[in-house]
Amino acid sequence: MGKVYKPELKEYVCKLVLEEGRKKSQLAYETGVSVSSITRWVDAYKEKMEQEVEEEGLLVTTSELQAEIRELRKNLADKEEENEILKKAMHVFTRSQA
């Protein structure tokens, strides 16, 4: 019989893979769990999350969420860049008036 791992560990590893983009092989090395076990856990976790989403009546896939996150991060970076430009412009205008 194989080794039994706590559900908390399984969920934590799955979140690291899916949400943070960590590599399964690196996590296998760090945790001492085989890559195949992590792959099974992630597949089961994805299926569980999809079932929960379907039960709530929300049909949003993980890839759609990841695309939206990428888009929001890009928008945030653009806004931060605009903010920096405005700060520099304000500094230039206040210096020239003095």
Model pLDDT for residues 31-84, shown as the tens digit of each residue: 999 999 999 999 999 998 888 777 666 666 777 788 899 999 999 999 999 999
65 and 81 co-located in one domain? yes
Q: Do both 32 and 52 map to the same domain?
A: yes
Residues 43, 17, single domain; the answer is yes
- Same domain? 53 vs 72: no
62 or 4, which is more confident: 4
Give the domain range for residue 52: 1-59
Q: How high is the pLDDT of residue 51?
A: 81
- Let me know if 13 is exposed, middle or buried by CB neighbors in 10 A (0-12, 13-18, 19+): buried
Which residue type, as a one-letter code, is found at position 62?
A: T
Total domain count, the chain: 2
| Residue-level pLDDT at 63 | 76
State whether 42 and 77 are in the same domain: no
Q: Could you tell me if 30 and 20 lie in one domain?
A: yes
pLDDT at 25 over 70: yes
**CA dihedral sign of residues 9, 14, 15, 20:** positive
